Amino acid sequence: MKVVILDDEEKVSSLICTLIEWDKLGLEQAGTASDGISGLELIKKVRPDLLITDIRMPGMSGLQLIEEAKKILPDLQVVLISGYSQFDYAQSAIRCGVVNYLLKPVKKIELNDTLQKMSAEFKRRQQEVSHTQAIEEEIERIIKEKQQNALLSVLDDGNNTEACNIDLPFPVSIVAVKVDGRALPYDMKAADVLVRRIVNHMGDAAEVPSVCVASGTYIVAALGNTPAASAVSETLLAWCKEQIELFRTFTLTVAEGSCVEKEEDYYAGVQLAFQGLAERLENGTLCLYHEKVPASVFEFDCTVYVKTIIAAVIQADRGKFTSTAEAFRSSVVNSGCTLYQLTKIVTEFENQMLEESRLQLEDPAYREVEQLAPVVEMACSVEMLWKGLLLFLDTVYDAVAGSCRERYVRPVREAQQYIQEHYGDSQLSLNSVAEYVGLNSNYFSGLFKKNCSIGFADYLQDMRLTRAKELLSKTKNPIKWISAEVGYGDPKHFAKIFKSVTGIKPNEYRQLYE
């Protein structure tokens, strides 16, 4: 059993290595590291069976490391060692799959007892997993993956009306669950944990053949049509209510679709379940909804509103932005759409806004906007739906408008820096600076004046004369030399400009400081 030890203090790592009874326990030291990044690389390289790690390390915390390591080695056993005894650390560790949690200072007896149990468990697992079982598990995994991919294709493709090979004997029953937040902001990491719990429960706990997948905060299961299937929805709702006692910032809704007789009707069955889930927006969550009548086709074009809002954002026109957003909301409310159609319209509007934002933003800024998108999907009421959408739109406005301002300001900053470095060049001009920053000279002239509140020529002249005053007052260099130094090839022209601005000649200005 290979062991990797990670701690940011080498003395602690050495102490742990000394305390472990390697030969007696049948353990092999596979390596040590003092930071999370190096530790993860070591894990990838040596693929240990057991990881002993501190909870806090530079580069990547112990908990983050465990999450990444388990993506590589799902069966990796972990002992978490820390000086922090707070319960929230233990909770986080348990969520990461850590069963054994030891506090510093590490005691030899406690450490070796823990490792002995883990070694025994490891050997037991090895003995249980025969070659035949491994093959069977792989076959089962492939079949399950194909079923899930087929079901997921229906969830993610709203226009999918083709047959869906989920490899279950038809007819099948459709059950869907929706996870929503109770109040903004939503904890998406916790939501993901809850979604995974529901998927695992629906996939494993139901005593019927089933395929279960999640897309965002929607979970859908296709259940084989057996007598036990009819009781699944009620049992599932009761279980979901128990989960809300643990995840108090969230709420849940369960809905049944129709019984699907053949694969060609599968999408329609899922759509009915989603129609049922939409009822929560007016009638409340923690309920079981049954939808029997398919929604009619409803057309609503969001494109004009999206384009107008983005144009207003680019122009930094907050008034037009707000009025267009309100016009969109009013148009949707007065359209006569059902709750399900409302969710489809708002989701399509949000997706179009995301796409337009992606065209305007660089990757880091876009990711921040994208991360806020679930505020719409996770709304538990119509009021929260609109509130979340407005929050999303405000975030888009701030990000895109800020990006546009930066695009306007950046060439001006570059021009100012260039002028600062080249004002002594008598050939420096509006055209040469505009060419340097890659803009048309007329456009650059207006942009420069808008951002600096002064024209290019006056800005350059002010910089040159400010430097000339400094040289006149602090040096005894000839005025002809100073004139050339600040970018005036003709001393007479320099003297004329200087007097027109200061009211006195350069030599008279110098006399004031002698």
- Per-residue pLDDT reduced to its tens digit, 498-514: 999 999 999 999 998 87
Helix, strand and coil in the chain, % to nearest 5? 60, 10, 25
**CA neighbours within 13 Å on the CB side: how many for 98?**
27
Q: Band the pLDDT of 389: cuts 50, 70, 90.
A: very high
* Stretch 200-211: mean pLDDT: 68
pLDDT of the residue at 90: 53
Q: Are residues 400 and 427 in the same domain?
A: no
Give the whole-angstrom CA distance, residue 386 versus residue 404: 26
Residue 293 is predicted with a pLDDT of 82
Query: Mean pLDDT throughout 254-272?
Result: 83
Confidence of residue 86 (pLDDT cuts 50, 70, 90): very low
Give every CB contact of residue 270 below 8 A, 6+ residues apart in sequence: 154, 155, 174, 176, 220, 257
Same domain, yes or no: 275 and 163: yes
Residue 159: which pLDDT band, with cuts at 50, 70 and 90?
A: very low
Reference 151, options 166, 163, 140, 162; nearest CA is 166
Quick check: is 19 in a domain? yes
Same domain, 63 and 96: yes
Report if residue 138 sits inside a domain.
no
Which pLDDT value is given to residue 254?
A: 94
3-state secondary structure 340-363: HHHHHHHHHHHHHHHHHHHHHCCH
CB-based contact 410:391 (threshold 8 Å) = no
pLDDT at 277 over 90: yes
295 class by beta-carbon count within 10 Å (0-12 exposed, 13-18 middle, 19+ buried): middle
Residue 427 pLDDT exceeds 90: yes
pLDDT greater than 50 at residue 160: no
Q: How far apart are CA 192 and CA 374, in angstroms?
A: 12
Same domain, 280 and 313: no
Please provide the average confidence, as pLDDT, over all residues in the chain.
85
Q: Which two tokens stand for residue 464?
A: 């040159």
- Asked if residue 417 has pLDDT above 60, the reply is yes
Q: To which residue do tokens 């915390």 refer?
A: 61
265 and 375 fall within a common domain: no
Q: Do the domain assignments include residue 417?
A: no
Q: What confidence score (pLDDT) does residue 288 get? A: 93
Per-residue buried b or exposed e for 488-502, using 16+ beta carbons within 10 Å of the residue's own CB: beebeebbebbeeee
286 pLDDT higher than 60: yes
Which two structure tokens, joined as six digits, stand for 350?
């949000």
241-245, 389-393, 460-464: which range is least confident on average?
241-245
Inside any domain, residue 418: no
Residue 127 makes CB contacts below 8 A (sequence gap 6+) with: none
**Given this model, what pLDDT does residue 92 score?**
63
Q: Is the pLDDT of residue 165 over 60?
A: no
CA 287 to chain centre: 30
Instruction: Give the closest residue to 274 by CA, choosing from 189, 184, 344.
Output: 344
**Of 75-84, 166-175, 277-286, which one has max mean pLDDT?**
277-286
Domain boundary among 290, 318, 340: 290
Structural domain including 454 reads: 423-511
* Structural domain ending residue among the three candidates 352, 375, 404: 404
Q: Domain containing 497 — which CATH number? A: 1.10.10.60
Selection from 59, 104, 69, 67 nearest residue 85 by Cα: 104
pLDDT at 407 over 90: no
Q: State whether 497 and 437 are in the same domain.
A: yes
The reply to whether 283 and 152 lie within a common domain is yes
Residues 65 and 185 in one domain: no
> 71 or 126, which is more confident?
71
Residue 442 and residue 387 in one domain: no
> What's the confidence (pLDDT) of residue 205?
57
Per-residue model confidence (pLDDT) at position 459 = 93
The pLDDT assigned to 373 comes to 87
Tell me the backbone φ, ψ of residue 5, rounded to 5 degrees.
Answer: -120, 130
Residue with tokens 């937040």: 181
Contact 341, 298 (CB under 8 A): yes
Position 206 scores a pLDDT of 52
Q: What number is the average pLDDT over the span 110-136? A: 79
Average pLDDT score over residue span 87-110 = 70
pLDDT of residue 125: 79
| pLDDT at res. 21 | 92
Across 119-133, 236-250, 497-511, least confident range? 119-133
Query: What pLDDT does residue 20 have?
Result: 92
End-to-end CA distance of the chain: 86
Mean pLDDT to the nearest integer, 435-463: 91
In this prediction, residues 275-285 reach a mean pLDDT of: 95
Nearest to 213 by CA among 243, 179, 191, 222: 222
Q: Is residue 409 included in any domain, yes or no?
A: no
Choosing from 256, 290, 324, the residue where a domain stops is 290
- Give the H or E element holding residue 234: helix 232-246
Q: At what angle do helices 339-360 and 266-278 cross, to 10 degrees?
A: 100
Helix (H, G, I), strand (E, B) or coil at 369: helix
Same domain? For 215 and 190 the reply is yes
Kindly state whether residues 354 and 260 are assigned to the same domain: no
pLDDT of residue 365: 87
The mean per-residue pLDDT over the stretch 308-320 comes to 91
Asked whether 319 and 309 are in contact (CB, 8 A), the reply is no
If one counts the domains in the chain, the total is 4
Whether 190 is in a domain gets the answer: yes
| Helix (H) or strand (E) segment spanning residue 32 | strand 28-33
Measured in whole angstroms, the distance separating CA 465 from the mean position of its chain's CA atoms is 51
User: What is the pLDDT at residue 43?
Assistant: 93
Largest CA distance in the chain: 107
Residue 472 is predicted with a pLDDT of 93
**Looking at the domain assignment, is residue 433 inside a domain?**
yes
Is residue 469 within 8 Å of residue 482, measured between CB atoms?
no
Q: Indicate the pLDDT class of residue 231, thresholds 50, 70 and 90.
A: confident
Please, which pLDDT band fits residue 204 given cuts at 50, 70 and 90? low
Does any domain span residue 414?
no
Tell me the CA distances in angstroms from 349 to 343, 345, 346, 376, one per residue in order: 10, 6, 5, 11
pTM, to two decimals: 0.58
Q: Tell the burial category of 141 from Cβ atoms under 10 Å away from its Cβ (0-12, 13-18, 19+).
A: exposed
Same domain? For 273 and 160 the reply is: yes
Q: Give the CATH number for residue 209.
A: 3.30.70.270
Q: Give the CATH number of the domain where residue 110 resides.
A: 3.40.50.2300
